Every structure is written in C-alpha cells, then in structure tokens.
Amino acid sequence: MIGSMAFDAAVEVGIAAFCEGEEPPEDEEVWRRLVGAGVEPWLAERLLIFLPMAYTRRLLPDVSYPDTLAGPGGRVVLAAEPVFAAALDRAQRGGRDEVGRIATRGAEFNAINNALNAGSRMEDLVLGELTLAEDLEPAGPGDGGVPSPRAVFEGLLREHGVPLDGETRVGAELFVHPAPDGVVMAQVDFAVSHPALATPWLVESLAGHGPTWRDAIGEAVAKFSLGTLHPILEGLLRPGSAPGQVERTRFDHPGGAFELVLGPQLNLFTDRPVPSAGPLLDRLIAALGAEPLTRRTHGLRLFTAHVDGRLQTNEVLLDNEPWAAGQAVVADAPPPLPEGMVAVRVFGLLVPAAP
C-alpha cells in the first residue's frame, strides 16, 4: 500500500480547495476545484470526506471517534486509508482559521454539536460511525493526479545512490497559491539537512504553474532537477554521482579556500538567448571576501528578474538569508537583456577546499 507521505501534496491541494474564497464553498464547488485541476475522482472523494473528519479530530480531541466508516458494501477501516492518515497528520499543524473552516463542515462535527446542544458533555461523547450513501470508489494506482514532491525528491536521491539515513534528511513541501480559473500555481520548498552544512536546513524554493497539479508540480520539480539537484549531490551528498553536471571554481577567502559547485543557469520568461551570468557571479564571489564564512558548506542562490532592462526582482540568498552586499552587486550590474522580460536563476554550494 502507498504510504501516507505519498499524499502529503494531495492533502495540501484539498485544504486549499476548502479554504479558497471568503465564504466556505459547497461540496460541489470543492469537487469542481479538485477534479478540474486533474485530481482523480477517487482521490477527490477521499479528500472531500476525510479532511473534515481529520480536522474535527484535531479541533475536538476529547470525543471518542470510530475507527471505521460504514457503506452499502461494508466497512472502511480508516487506518487502512493512506489519504486519511495523511489528512490526520496534516491537521495537527493546521492554523486556527484553517481548522475552523474545514472541521465545521463535516457530519461528525455536526453530530457532536447537536449532542452538546442537547446537554451532553464532550468527554462523555462516543461518536457512532459515519454512514456513506455510496461506497468509496476504489483507490487507483499511483498518486491520484497530485505527485508528492517529497517522494519524487527522495526517488531522485536514491537513483544517485544517496542513502537517506540519520545523517541526511530531506523534505519537500507544497504551497498552493491563488491563481486564475484554469490554472494552478505551485510553490515547492525542497529542503536538505546534513552535518556539513553551515545552517541546519538548506532550502530551495521553486514555482510551477499549469492546468493541472501534475503539470505545476512537475514544472517545479523539473527546475529543481535541472538547476539545484546536481550541486547538492556533487557538493554535499555524494560527490562524483553527477559528473559533468556542475561547474567547479576555486576561490580564496580570508578564512580559507572554497570551491563553488555551480549548477546550470536557468533562464525564464524568454525564448531569446541570454548571456551568461558568469561576470556577475565573479563579482559576487569577490564580495564574499568580506563575509565571515565558516569552514562549512554554504548555499548561494541568485535570482533576478528584469522588464525592459529595469530590475524588478533582486534575490541573493546566502544560507537561506537575504545577502545585502550581494543584492548591492546585482543592483549595480547591467541587465541580461535590454528589452522584454527575463529572469535568471543560479544555485551553487560553497564547499571548503583542501589547502
């Protein structure tokens, strides 16, 4: 059986469908939002049923809840449903507004509310099992139309021989952003923890969009795979596992020499040739000389966006944090193209070099 972690992203998509808009949507609208964005019906049905149940258990934990659902064809054991397990886990981290929006629409919440209004005490309530008018549609194979970025990330690492043990920890979390009808917007934060890093977690955030969640998440994963994965492999997790996929540049620093392990330059929002960001990176490396870098591995990420030669976005992150001196270097640099819209993204690791 597919583990609950495979549905972590699906649960985020379900939560967004419940919480979008100023007023709580009807079930039909939640269904439309899910299925219209490529969520397979068997998964959409489970999100529609299981999320309110999970959030009711979070909101009202003193009630005794059943472990099953009843349907015309027999009982459904909740512990055997990975979507329910994922929803229950995520509900524990839900914010107040989110919990209130989702829990209060469920049949179990209504039954509890009616019992309390009739004079029952919360701690005495033993809830009967929910009865479905129709049996759940059998779960299909795979992810139901919502790939788990974490599962994909872990799969990529295993393909490159990276052991996911106690020393290396990884994660990938989906964030849903508002988008026009017919389009979904996904932000995926990929995270790595390793003893060699200068910070507890190194996080890279990438976005994707498309008509379905598979398209949007797939675009974010593709950007990560192209621009970020190989520097992480070569500079941190398993040197030699991605030969020819990175550039290495040694540079001197007052605290000791480093090697910049750099991924490919990603050019976005244009189909025209974009000059190399190499000269800008050289200036950023020179500016690093004034930074007190420890003898650990540091993350460096550049993202700029220009419109008709004007700088619109200036992000230079050093160990996940905005680097003011790096942003000043970018602000003083010429645009990559004089006209139109263009964005440039480069990621690398600063790895302590041998003397």
Q: Which two tokens stand for residue 36?
A: 């219209």
pTM: 0.93
Question: Does 15 share its domain with 118?
Answer: yes
The pLDDT tens digits of the residues spanning 151-185 come to: 999 999 999 999 887 789 999 999 999 998 899 99
Give me the residues paired with residue 303 across strands: 315, 345
Alpha-carbon distance values, 42 to 38, 46, 83, 132 (Å): 12, 7, 11, 14
Question: Does 155 share its domain with 67?
Answer: no
Q: Domain range holding 39?
A: 4-124
Chosen domain end from 220, 240, 260: 240
Question: Does 168 share its domain with 63?
Answer: no
Quote the pLDDT of residue 328. 98
**CB-based contacts of 48, cutoff 8 Å, min separation 6:** 14, 27, 30, 31, 34
Quote the pLDDT of residue 5. 61
The DSSP secondary-structure symbol of 354 reads: P
Question: Does 254 share its domain with 234?
Answer: no
Q: Is residue 133 assigned to a domain? A: no
Quote the pLDDT of residue 52. 97
Q: Which two tokens stand for residue 106?
A: 């469920």
pLDDT at 354 over 90: no
Q: Is residue 273 assigned to a domain? A: yes
CATH code, 176: 3.30.160
Question: Does 104 share its domain with 170?
Answer: no
pLDDT at 2 over 50: no
Quote the pLDDT of residue 355. 77
Residue 56 has a CB neighbour count (10 Å cut-off) of: 26
Q: Is residue 130 assigned to a domain? A: no
User: What's the average model confidence in pLDDT over 277-306?
Assistant: 97
User: What's the average model confidence in pLDDT over 15-38?
Assistant: 94
Rounded-to-integer distance, Cα 184 and Cα 171, Å? 22
The pLDDT tens digits of the residues spanning 210-245 come to: 999 999 999 999 999 999 999 999 999 999 998 899
pLDDT at 3 over 80: no
Task: Name the domain count of the chain.
Answer: 3
Question: Does 30 share its domain with 114?
Answer: yes
Please report how many Cα atoms fall inside a 13 Å half-sphere around the Cα of residue 339, on the Cβ side: 1
Q: What is the DSSP string of 24-78?
A: PPPHHHHHHHHHHTT--HHHHHHHHHHHHHHHHHHH-TTSB--SEEEETTEEEEG
Mean pLDDT of all residues belonging to the chain: 95
pLDDT at 273 over 70: yes
The end-to-end CA distance of the chain, in Å, is 51
Give me the residues paired with residue 172 across strands: 190
Quote the pLDDT of residue 70. 94
Chosen domain end from 223, 240, 257: 240
Give the residue from 300, 276, 302 showing the smallest Cα distance to 288.
Answer: 300
H helix or E strand, kind and range, residue 9: helix 8-19
